[in-house]
């Protein structure tokens, strides 16, 4: 049986990244700017919509939504929001982090986003992709060539 190595749920990784971003505002001040709640709220709304559409597409296809159980994927979902991103749920979390930059008003907070993306790519997405390639073979490989990993 194939398993994913990540033991921390992606939403928890997002909270850790938000904490790193918060710390960066005080320990690594680089360039401060006026916070923009309007942009942040818009990004958060988009994040919620993207996340909702991702979960909806998986539920409609009657397949797992758990990032810990990709081996239980019953169908390769390539429609809906999945025709634009292979990982829209992670994109939604990334959008929340980008919104946080506009809330914190500090450029150094990008460090939290970089760490988040590196960890999620290495410990979550790549193992998931390996499992999906084993499950769906050439069909998944073609999908990967057509659709970007993030957006």
DSSP state of 106: B
What is the rounded average pLDDT of the residues 48-74? 89
What is the C-alpha separation between 125 and 87, in angstroms, rounded?
8
- Token code pair at residue 110: 């990008």
Q: How far apart are CA 148 and CA 12, in angstroms?
A: 24
- For the cut 80, the answer to whether the pLDDT of residue 7 exceeds it is no
Region of 75 (left: φ > 0; alpha: ψ -120 to 50; beta: rest) is beta
Instruction: Provide the 3-class DSSP secondary structure of residue 103.
Output: helix
Please give the helix or strand (H or E) that residue 47 lies within, else none: helix 37-60
pLDDT score of 64: 82
Mean pLDDT, residues 78-103:
97
| Intra-chain end-to-end CA distance of the chain, in Å | 30
How far is residue 38's CA from residue 148's CA, in Å, rounded to a whole number?
28
How confident is the model at residue 23, as a pLDDT? 97
Taken in order 86, 88, 89, 94, the sign of the CA dihedral is positive
Write down the mean pLDDT value for the chain: 92
Among 34-38, 47-51, 72-76, 138-142, the minimum mean pLDDT is found in 72-76
What average pLDDT does this structure show over 40-58? 97
| Mean pLDDT along residues 89-117 | 97
What tokens does 108 get? 């150094």
Which residues are paired to 32 by β-bridges? 106
Mean pLDDT along residues 144-148: 97
Q: What is the pLDDT of residue 151?
A: 84
pLDDT of residue 4: 47
Q: Where are the domains of the chain?
A: 33-146
User: What are the CA-CA distances from residue 11 to residues 17, 22, 125 (Å)?
Assistant: 10, 17, 14
């Amino acid at each position: 049986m194939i398993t994913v190595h990540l033991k921390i749920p992606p939403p928890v990784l997002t909270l850790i990244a938000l904490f790193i971003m918060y710390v960066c505002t005080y320990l690594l001040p680089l360039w401060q700017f006026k916070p923009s709640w309007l942009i942040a709220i818009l990004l958060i709304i988009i994040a919620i919509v993207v996340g909702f559409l991702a979960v909806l597409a998986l539920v409609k296809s009657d397949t797992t939504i758990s990032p810990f159980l990709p081996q239980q994927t019953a169908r390769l979902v390539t429609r809906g929001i999945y025709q634009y991103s292979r990982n829209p749920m992670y994109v939604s979390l990334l959008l929340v982090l980008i919104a946080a930059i506009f809330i914190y008003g500090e450029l150094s907070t990008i460090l939290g986003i970089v760490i988040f993306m590196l960890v999620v790519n290495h410990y979550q997405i790549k193992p998931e992709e390996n499992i999906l390639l084993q499950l769906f073979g050439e069909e998944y490989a073609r999908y990967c060539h057509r659709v970007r990993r993030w957006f």
